[in-house]
Structure 1
């Protein structure tokens, strides 16, 4: 965490009811807890904004820059509270617990029912940043009061030691919060419940410190009102936690437009299935439509058939495609001896095997003995000990390139690795995103494939949704075959001069 400047020591106040060493330890413990909670709020906003809005790099930049700016404002505003540091800190923590704890829930509600979460994201980043910025100056005042022996304040050396101790507790707390979010809170509790629980911990830590250790600094009236405020915050957080499942169900219905039959967070992504168990199915990954019953048959046929129609195709590699639909199309072609599916998410494959509607759609392809599944990141797997020229056809059925985490899977380096595993004259088919809706991203994919040494043909599936593809052959293998019937060539729409996307210069952000 980046902390604002500290105020000068304050001399006033009543001696705490414990020894100075114990009081100092308790304040530092609360610094640790508050820092952990503050970083969880930041990461929660970044994660949810990336999921709801997309482009994780932009969302992280917006949240962190706005929050650090707001922390400076909060540090300045905290000067007005130094004379009432105990009450001020308790109020700041109660507000931070309420706003930070409910931030994910409100952000999701804004996206689900208003269709726009950007303004809420900036507002929460500002509010949480101001409150986090106000913590450190007030805690500096409180730790000096807790550490004081008698009525005298410490000298410059004591003040320097206090600053070092406070920063150490703050940074270690940030480390714990940063690790707890992805490894404990997110997989065990989910984004909404995790944020609400963090808010409750924040409220208890701040309120308990002030109402016990610094109770002599406040009047009985102030103590009563602080107790009521903290209990109210905890009651709101507890009520929201009890209702979070109902809220998620209602929000999902608002987002997906029909009842949600399956909704699971696999550890890699959120997978949602809508539609009847034995009828048309829609599959959403992190809120983005991937499969849409009947129309999706046309999509995967357009991806696979042009690459399989001419030339050897006994050995096929499918990158992504855990839903089994690309593999289904591959196995419809005679002469296929083996299909290797490299999928990052085991949860997606389990659902494709077990869900009746999705299994029926993919033709129970995972029961075919010719199919082998490898659970790995496609980029890392291609860099591993994969034999050169091991496959006749490579099918890239990966998330759209406009999603920031997928940018490396549409890079020049990635296609260079794919070229290494292709046999002489082998074909590469790539799902490259919408041609019309995101034309820059689509044509950047095509330019990147050409920069990796392929010759290409660009085409799309007719109708909606808008799906674009690229068929490629290594330059030594000549020109790619015509995509064939059922698709529309878009070669005449290619813009000139688009640079390729690389690992160090991704070019898909829109």
Structure 2
């Protein structure tokens, strides 16, 4: 049976009513894309591996949109009421999604099931919008299906453009993830509710109108409550993840930086993107294990890539015969904390106050690419960068990147690379090793030994690669041990280097 929409009774002329429907399409499309980008961003922040997580979120949402479109066919007879219900539920689900996902991650340590669930739910609701809006716009003025689809999708795509630009340039930097999602939900609820309760009020029974008013009031109250509780929620979530003594928690635009402790009798600790980078006992072993083996040779000029916290720099400056140490770090907020925060300054021992230190605020890849050979080679290069399995940083573990590093390295210079956890992610670890070797450097893979004089064994999973143009020896050390020859022989056969065109981490 062919469905034929009945002309609507509108309180305004048909032309104005049509404009209002298309304006609502614009607003809802903007809100829908913000929800999508919010889920992609949260997937990246909370679980890492941006490409995989973005693919999962977007694929699930597109599939769910198709399901929602099919389900909406059953609501065409009551399109106005159905659209009102869909927008109220979508506003609540999308608005609270960021808070719910953060709660799952903070208290349960796992956000992936909830991420897939929200992707499905939001996708179904977004998919139901277009068929219902098509029905409503056809009820205002009948036109050929092609023209109606063109008008509807034009408004939809322009709204998506606005939402896509508003998320990274307005909502995220000004309001943050939680408040940005809550505000988007409120806008979504107001736009959908106003269209149905005013423009199409003639289609609603008194009971349906009362139900929609009540639903929208409840949604707006819940979103307002969420907004009022954002501060306490963020504090509680941080304490759930890092303990009760969180002093500093900032998202710098590059990474999340959290500092804990540092009070009277308390030991300061630094977390970057949720990973412990420095603190008491074993936590400082990472920087010592990364830097000191590379310093066993000429080290008059040293280049530190990343490491804005100053902790690797602290290890470099422990050698009095270092004449110059250059730090290349893009995160100005982390650099500022490393210079001014008492706890972090205590951890890095005031490294940035040393006159031998020069700081370049830049992306390591871009800085190396723009560097002139006339600037002189470096005896030691320390690559203190985020984990290689984080897709957004894959270029900093690529063949092209190590080619630039090799060009900056003195003929007898050494390179030290943080290569991930050899036990937990052996494919990633050996891919780093293969990629470094692909630019003509010889490597010695090594790891932090289990246990320490302080106990705890917190750094068991840290793996590194020491490289040079000539055969390099790793002297026995208190903290480090070379990967055994049997394990080296068992490295994955035929492992290819990672390049910008073919990133191979996380495969």
TM bin (shorter chain): over 0.9
1:44 maps to 2:38: yes
Q: Which residue of 1 aligns with 2:180?
A: 194
Q: Which residue of 2 aligns with 1:479?
A: 471
1:489 maps to 2:471: no
Q: For 1:16, what is the secondary structure of its paired residue?
A: coil
Residue of structure 1 aligned with 2:410, choices 405, 423, 426: 423
Tell me by how many angstroms 1:258 deviates: 4.0
Residue of structure 2 aligned with 1:204, choices 171, 187, 190: 190
Tell me by how many angstroms 1:33 deviates: 0.7
Residue of structure 2 aligned with 1:17, choices 7, 11, 17: 11
CA distance, structure 2, for counterparts of residue 508 and residue 258 of structure 1: 35
Q: Which residue of 2 aligns with 1:500?
A: 497
1:449 maps to 2:411: no
1:177 maps to 2:163: yes
Q: Number of aligned pairs? A: 492
Q: For 2:124, what is the secondary structure of its paired residue?
A: helix
CA distance, structure 2, for counterparts of residue 133 and residue 483 of structure 1: 62
Q: For 1:60, what is the secondary structure of its paired residue?
A: helix
1:434 maps to 2:421: yes
CA distance, structure 2, for counterparts of residue 315 and residue 12 of structure 1: 80
CA distance, structure 2, for counterparts of residue 489 and residue 470 of structure 1: 9
Structure 1 residues 307, 399: closer, same or farther in 2, change over 3 A? same
1:249 maps to 2:249: no
Alpha-carbon contact 2:277-2:286 (below 8 Å) kept: no
Alpha-carbon contact 2:276-2:283 (below 8 Å) kept: no
Tell me by how many angstroms 1:162 deviates: 2.0
Q: For 2:387, what is the secondary structure of its paired residue?
A: coil
CA distance, structure 2, for counterparts of residue 288 and residue 65 of structure 1: 29
- Summarize deviations over 1:363-395 as a string: whole Å, max 9, x none: 111111211111111111111133265212111
CA distance, structure 2, for counterparts of residue 357 and residue 485 of structure 1: 28
Residue of structure 2 aligned with 1:263, choices 249, 252, 262: 249
Q: Which residue of 1 aligns with 2:506?
A: 509
Q: Give the unaligned 5+ runs of structure 2.
A: 451-456
1:124 maps to 2:124: no
- The worse-fitting range, judged by mean Cα deviation, of 418-427 and 493-502 is 493-502
CA distance, structure 2, for counterparts of residue 171 and residue 188 of structure 1: 24
- State TM-score, norm by structure 1: 0.93
Structure 1 residues 347, 216: closer, same or farther in 2, change over 3 A? same
Alignment of 1:89-168 (within 5 A): 89-146=83-140, 148=141, 153-154=142-143, 156=144, 159-168=145-154
Tell me by how many angstroms 1:96 deviates: 0.2
Q: For 1:34, what is the secondary structure of its paired residue?
A: helix
Tell me by how many angstroms 1:8 deviates: 8.1
- Summarize deviations over 1:19-49 as a string: whole Å, max 9, x none: 1221111111110110111111111111112
Cα-Cα RMSD? 1.7
Q: Which residue of 2 aligns with 1:4?
A: none
Tell me by how many angstroms 1:484 deviates: 4.3
- State TM-score, norm by structure 2: 0.94
Alpha-carbon contact 2:91-2:189 (below 8 Å) kept: yes
Residue of structure 1 aligned with 2:335, choices 344, 349, 370: 349
Q: For 2:216, what is the secondary structure of its paired residue?
A: helix
CA distance, structure 1, for counterparts of residue 283 and residue 238 of structure 2: 22
Q: Give the unaligned 5+ runs of structure 1.
A: 1-6
Q: Which residue of 2 aligns with 1:370?
A: 356
Alpha-carbon contact 2:427-2:492 (below 8 Å) kept: no
Alpha-carbon contact 1:9-1:140 (below 8 Å) kept: no
Residue of structure 2 aligned with 1:468, choices 463, 468, 474: 463
Alpha-carbon contact 1:426-1:473 (below 8 Å) kept: yes
Tell me by how many angstroms 1:360 deviates: 0.9
CA distance, structure 2, for counterparts of residue 86 and residue 422 of structure 1: 68
CA distance, structure 1, for counterparts of residue 367 and residue 205 of structure 2: 65
Residue of structure 2 aligned with 1:307, choices 294, 298, 319: 294
Q: Which residue of 1 aligns with 2:453?
A: none
CA distance, structure 2, for counterparts of residue 291 and residue 505 of structure 1: 33
Structure 1 residues 213, 483: closer, same or farther in 2, change over 3 A? farther
Tell me by how many angstroms 1:9 deviates: 7.6
